[in-house]
Amino acid sequence: MKPSTVKYLSKKIMASGEIPLLWGHFGVGKTDIAREIAEETGRELIILIISQMEPGDLIGLPSRGSEKTVFLKPDWWPNKDEVIIMIDEINRAHRSIRNAIMQLLIDRRIHNHILPAGAWIMGAANPPDEEYDQVDLITDPAFMSRFFHLELSPDVDDWINWSNQEQVKGEVISFIKEYPEYLSSDNIVSMRLNLRPSPRSWYKLSNVLSNLSENDMKKYGYVIAASIVGSEAARAFLSHLENKVELPNPKDLLIEGKNLERIEKLTNEEKVSLILRINNYFESLKEEDIEQLLSNGDQKTIAENVKNISVFIPKDAMFSVLRFLNEMVEKNKGLKKVFYDKLLEEIAIKLGDSTWMEGI
């Protein structure tokens, strides 16, 4: 998203009591966005570069009280409502530091020190790729589910407007107008996140949606929803709001063989959403579910219905199901690995065409 959109949505998210996390390459303007929001809302900006901090810097040091140990406020702790706390370089910080800020993200407090009621929090991070010095890839879903994840990419028009305000030399501005490809060599932001919905994420989404106008909802509804519950759940949610066709239930399709005729009437976008639902169904199976499926021999039924579904679904979309099952075989152990392996084998037999399996 371009900077002006990220700034607008960040303000909406923070005004709703939630936390945006801005993902972008170096120099793209993450900190500038925080400064502009602070200036526009009359707030003090406190920037915590947590990759350079120790836990004591973040949470304060212990002190001896009359009968028990108490923790002193860290020197950055705000004393007024009109403040934005920007937690910068989140994915370059050591895990111990990220653990230390969890209480701040969850309860808006550290030890017995409570944030002022009106304080806003936002975060910033570089994409998790080889160009950046990172301690480790953040994969903890409990940590990442605290944020609305916004991708920030450079935009020529936004930058020219900003540079005019900042009195950047005319020669530089005219060059970028003539050669916009030189504004930045990094235009793609890959967050490598697998955002999944949870009861908490739907609650957080509801908080932000309550603060959006009808026009905001039309323009940004999907972006906001996808940033907290993931793209598939966001598509289903927006389709529900727009009264589009309801997608068939994956379990009904795969186990019962019901509603197969409805697939033909779906649009290509809805068919892709259905494939994502099928993949999520496979991934969400618990061991007791798998035991029941194996004992009933349902892997053969599922394979037969996958073949029936393939009649209505583009071949490249169906490949994603096979590739996903192959990934499940590789990443799981024990009973789950056995089930996914057997299922993949049964599907290969039912499809009866070796070119299908070459796609994985």
- Write the DSSP symbol of residue 183: S
Cα–Cα–Cα angle for 310, 311, 314, rounded to 5 degrees = 65
pLDDT for position 47: 94
- pLDDT above 80 for 192: no
- Angle at which helices 3-15 and 30-41 cross, to 10°: 50
Yes or no: say if 258 and 232 are a contact pair by the CB < 8 Å rule.
no
Asked if the model's pLDDT at residue 257 lies above 90, the reply is no
| pLDDT > 60? residue 94 | yes
* Cα–Cα dist 30/1, whole Å: 12
Residues near 246 by beta carbon (within 8 Å), at least 6 away in sequence: 240
**Could you count the other beta carbons within 10 Å of the beta carbon of residue 141?**
13
pLDDT at 48: 92
Which has more pLDDT, 245 or 68? 68
| Antiparallel, parallel or unpaired: β 69-71 and 62-64 | antiparallel
Kindly indicate the confidence band of residue 139, based on its pLDDT and cuts at 50, 70 and 90: low
State the chain's mean pLDDT as an integer: 86
Residue of 53, 44, 40, 50 lying closest to 11 (CA atoms): 40
Residue 35 Cα to chain centre, angstroms:
24
Q: Please give the domain boundaries of the chain with CATH numbers for all domains.
A: 3-153+188-196 (3.40.50.300), 250-357 (no CATH)
pLDDT band at 149 (very low <50, low <70, confident <90, very high): very high
pLDDT tens digits along 223-252: 999 999 998 889 888 887 876 667 888 898
Summarize pLDDT for 262-277 with one digit per residue, the tens.
Answer: 888 888 878 888 888 8
CA dist 123 and 30 (Å) reads 9
Sign of the CA dihedral with 275 first, then 277, 281, and 284 last? positive
For residue range 9-66, what is the model confidence (pLDDT) as tens digits?
999 999 999 999 999 888 889 999 999 999 999 999 999 998 888 877 777 777 776 6
B/e letters for 243-265, b = 16+ CB within 10 Å, e = fewer, are ebeebbebeebbbeeeebebbee
Q: Residue ranges of the alpha helices (H) in 311-353?
A: 315-331, 334-351
Residue-by-residue DSSP string for 223-265: HHHHHHH-HHHHHHHHHHHTT-PPPPPHHIIIII--SHHHHTT
Extract the tokens encoding 210. Answer: 């309550």
Q: What is the DSSP letter of 123?
A: E
- Integer Rg of the chain from CA: 24
Distances (CA, A) of 216 to 8, 21, 211, 212, 303: 10, 20, 9, 6, 43
**CA 96 to CA 272: how far, in whole Å?**
39
Q: Which residues contact 106 (CB under 8 A, 6 or more apart)?
A: 146
